[in-house]
Amino acid sequence: MYDFKTYIEYFKILGRFLPINGKHSAMAKFGYIFAFIVGVIVFNSCTQQPEFTSHQSENFIIRQPELKKAYGAYLAGRVAHLRKNFNVAADYYMEALNEDPENKELLGRVYVILASKGRISEAAKYAEISLKKGDKNNFTYIIMAVDEMKKGRYEQVNETVGHLDGPVYKEFIIPLMSAWAYAGLNQPDKALKTLAVLDKEPSFRALYHFHAGMLNDYFDRTDEARRHYEIIVNDESMEMSFRSLQVITNFYIRNGEKDKSVQLVDNTHRFAGFAVLKAPDIPSALLEMGYLSNRTEERLLKQQSYRKKLAVSTSRAVNKFFDNMQHASIF
């Protein structure tokens, strides 16, 4: 089991709901928070499933309409789940749950998978049922808070996240979600004050300055937004994902500072804090091939031809690097 900081490292680049062009709405920016939340859920429920071999196609999934009984729908859901076809799995699990509504384990599986696929309104409905049945875990409250945020119920968000329990939630999730809820209520000072809790933890500093920059940008506090963004840009100890690079570059371009955006693009090299990259006995490097939060990139990454193209290009780049190193050593 990984600790929460590991979850953060893996999932803070997930930005399905985070636009990168033009001024962002408060709720669009909230997608960056949602990326963390869904990331934790996906990591727990989906990433360690067994792989099927390549000859087992999507058609292998049982799709017989007569599967009305709970056991049949559940088995079909399990097959889809193992095939990583999570939307289909969720539909079958919901069908099974209709036949066996008192099954708490199945209920939890339904709202977790729905949330992981961005079907928040559906997930929130089942999370609320779970709460009424006495299953008051942190995920249920988080899913409901995300749904309330998306529906503009900002005051309710703060009440819901108040039920979250545990140091990680109090030091990270609650301040982040509450800050954007206050932004939705048009209370910039309260939003920034709430967010400032993250600045107390060194591992959250980059995240704090990034969100403080976006909050100030949203409220047209351009100078303050620039100050926070430049802290990230100038401090090489802070990790800069490609997503944050896009947001900050867009900010500079919108404010007539194209020269800074060009300089920023040349200054993206950072050393990530992944445990595997820090292992002293394992030479390693991290290569980002794309974002599953980007529908186009997700579609491409599922294509064998595209993955082969990436692998071949990466191999050529590595070989070229060492060829150049060898050539340089001769002289």
User: Tell me, what's the pLDDT at 287?
Assistant: 75
Q: Which two tokens stand for residue 209?
A: 């300055």
Rounded to whole angstroms, the Cα distance separating 21 from 235 reads 24
Token pair for 13: 């680049």
Please check the confidence at residue 272 and state whether its pLDDT lies above 70: no
Which one-letter DSSP state was computed for residue 177?
H
Nearest one of 219, 216, 198, 215 to 207, comparing CA atoms: 198
The domain segmentation of the chain, as residue ranges, is 294-331
Q: What is the pLDDT of residues 153-178, one digit of tens each?
A: 999 999 999 999 888 888 888 999 99
pLDDT value, residue 63 = 42
- Long-range contacts formed by 211-217: CB under 8 A, 24+ apart: 211/29, 211/32, 211/176, 211/179, 213/247, 213/248, 213/251, 214/24, 214/29, 214/32, 214/247, 215/29, 215/179, 215/180, 215/183, 215/188, 215/191, 216/188, 216/192, 217/23, 217/24, 217/251
H helices present in the chain, as ranges:
4-11, 26-45, 70-82, 86-99, 104-116, 120-132, 138-150, 154-161, 167-168, 174-184, 188-195, 205-218, 222-234, 242-254, 258-265, 275-278, 295-301, 304-330
Average pLDDT, the chain: 75
Mean predicted confidence (pLDDT) in 221-227: 95
Per-residue pLDDT band at 99 (split at 50, 70, 90): confident
Higher pLDDT, 194 or 300: 194
Query: What is residue 169's predicted lDDT score, i.e. its pLDDT?
Result: 85
Output the pLDDT for position 192.
96
For residue 127, what pLDDT is reported? 92
User: Could you read off the pLDDT of 187-214 as tens digits, one per residue?
Assistant: 999 999 999 999 988 888 888 999 999 9
Whether residue 96 has pLDDT greater than 60: yes
Residue 180: is its pLDDT beyond 80?
yes
